Amino acid sequence: MKYTSLRTRAIHAGESARAPGGAVAPPLHMANSYMTEADLSFSAERLTPDSPYIYTRWGNPTVSMLEKRVASLEGSEEGLCFSSGMAAITGLFTHLLGTGDHLVMSDVAYAGAVEYTYDLLPQMGVAVTHVDVSDLDAVRDALRPNTRLVHIETPCNPILRLADIEQIARLAHGVGALLSVDSTFASPVITRPLMLGAGLVIHSLTKYLGGHGDALGGIIVGRSELLARIRSRVGIHAGGILSPFNAWLILRGLTTLPLRMQAHCDSAMHIAAMLTQHPRVKRVIYPGLDSHPQYRLAQKQMRLPGGMLTFQADDGEKMARQLQRRLQLVSYAVSLGHVHSLIYYIGTDSIMESTFHLRGGGLTAYKDYAGEVFSAFLWGWRIPMICAATWHRRWANAWRRRTLNAQPLQWCLAGRCLSRLPPGAGSLLLLRSLAGSAGCPATA
Ligand code: PLP
């Protein structure tokens, strides 16, 4: 059955006509093998969409339901689940790229993905060009005849920079390359990259889609034919598949995704408005404010502005420590997109050294964007939406003057981050400092 409403699809897509025993909620199939026919081929290469279940590494009814549901939310044919978001990303890279191939990679993206493209892909003989994908000329210049894949994140972790999916897809197609979009920060409620020309979408299911901070998972969504090849070579043979139990938890979280995303966005807008009035805050970066450097693009390709915001503050490092001590509902931990409040602080110098390796213009562009930033993922359906856009213009000019002497700090916040939020708001808080003293080399 084809459902049109996103909310209905989040609950029903992928369901079989009638679950065993007439169960209304999806059953959890933990079996690792299935009774089958004597003459069935045992080769992964012979797997077809009609093949019966044989062994859970090949396919499992609970995992299949999740794959169909996320594919439906993305408006696509097929999904393929992995044990984590990173397993999905690296599975895609290793399947599509080999010796002599070229990857154009966003210079700022989830740290694990960027590090992989600096460390492991070159060892496999893959050439990688890291590029600021918000600059279309830079993307065009980076493309080569042997470019097979362009990989972007939008909004990107950790600075909320956006990439124009439609334009980058057009450029990639010009040299016969595929565009893959890590849409973890947006979720299918906000952006559907395949509708804009991307060839593949990746999600860390660990974040918004699961939404409860209790399961790791990843998915690639795209055309059936390509995914069938990735399933047999990466899923079945490399074996990093999703456990049915995690699939079941993520399916359960997914049912409320459209409602949660609306709540994340309402909370983020509320906090963006609150922060812009705070005397210690110099600048707020949030795709819902017209001061966001790519506000027009946000309006073009995002249905909602997202649950993440960043802000700059005077003496941010000190403020970060203070918040770490004082926030009552916030735990000091990595991750994002679920109902608990987390806080994390990391030095920008260290992330530059360990991960992004930006210098010169690239580093300046990063600092222009990140500055002293407080970024937030927010979750709370009881918070009213406040539109800060009208007075923000006046305020934005003031911060431009003040940030010239800014002490560099970047913070990322998600969920129930500020104790002032009413109950019902969930959060995650990540902190980063350009001044760079404390912290881990990367955030998850
Ligand atoms: N993609 C993005 C944008 C992320 O933020 C993360 C983790 O934070 C990942 C991928 C990796 O996901 P996982 O932790 O599920 O491997």
- For residue 367, give every residue at least 6 positions away whose Cβ sits within 8 Å of its Cβ, in sequence order, or none: 348, 408, 434
- Amino acid at the residue 390: T
C-alpha 35 to ligand 1 mean position (Å) = 36
Residue 52 is classified by DSSP as: P
216 Cβ below 6 A of ligand 1:
yes
- Amino acid at the residue 186: A
- The domain defined by 257-433 folds into Aspartate Aminotransferase, domain 1 (3.90.1150)
pLDDT 10s per residue in the chain (444 long)?
Answer: 577 899 999 999 998 877 778 889 999 999 999 998 877 777 887 788 788 899 999 999 999 999 999 999 999 989 999 999 999 999 999 999 999 999 999 999 999 999 999 999 999 999 999 999 999 999 999 999 999 999 999 999 988 999 999 999 999 999 999 999 999 999 999 999 999 999 999 999 999 999 999 999 999 999 999 999 999 999 999 999 999 999 999 999 999 999 999 998 998 898 889 889 988 888 888 999 999 999 999 999 999 999 887 777 777 677 778 878 888 876 777 888 988 766 666 667 778 999 999 999 898 888 877 753 333 333 322 222 222 222 233 333 333 333 322 333 334 444 333 334 333 333 333 333 322 222 222 233
Residue owning tokens 């679950």: 19
CA distances from residue 178 to 92, 126, 141, 371, 375 in whole angstroms, order as listed: 11, 15, 16, 32, 30
User: Nearest to residue 66, comparing CAs of 18, 3, 9, 20?
Assistant: 9
246 Cβ below 6 A of ligand 1:
no
Judge contact between 286 and 273, C-beta under 8 A: no
Three-point CA angle 179, 309, 105, nearest 5°: 25
Q: What is the maximum alpha-carbon separation in the chain?
A: 75
Tell me the catalytic residues: 57, 110, 182, 207
Topology alike, domains 6-254 and 257-433: no
208 Cβ below 6 A of ligand 1:
no
Instruction: Kindly tell me the burial class for residue 396, based on how many C-beta atoms sit within 10 Å of its own C-beta (0-12, 13-18, 19 or more).
Output: middle
Three-point CA angle 309, 311, 315, nearest 5°: 150
Strand partners, 153: 182
- Distance CA(78)–CA(222), nearest Å, equals 6
Each domain of the chain, given as residue ranges in start order, spans 6-254, 257-433
User: Nearest to residue 222, comparing CAs of 263, 178, 161, 168?
Assistant: 178
* Nearest-atom index, ligand 1, CA of 86: 16
Judge contact between 70 and 220, C-beta under 8 A: no
SS3 206: coil
Q: CATH code for 6-254?
A: 3.40.640.10
CA distances from residue 106 to 150, 153, 157, 182, 230 in whole angstroms, order as listed: 8, 7, 11, 11, 23
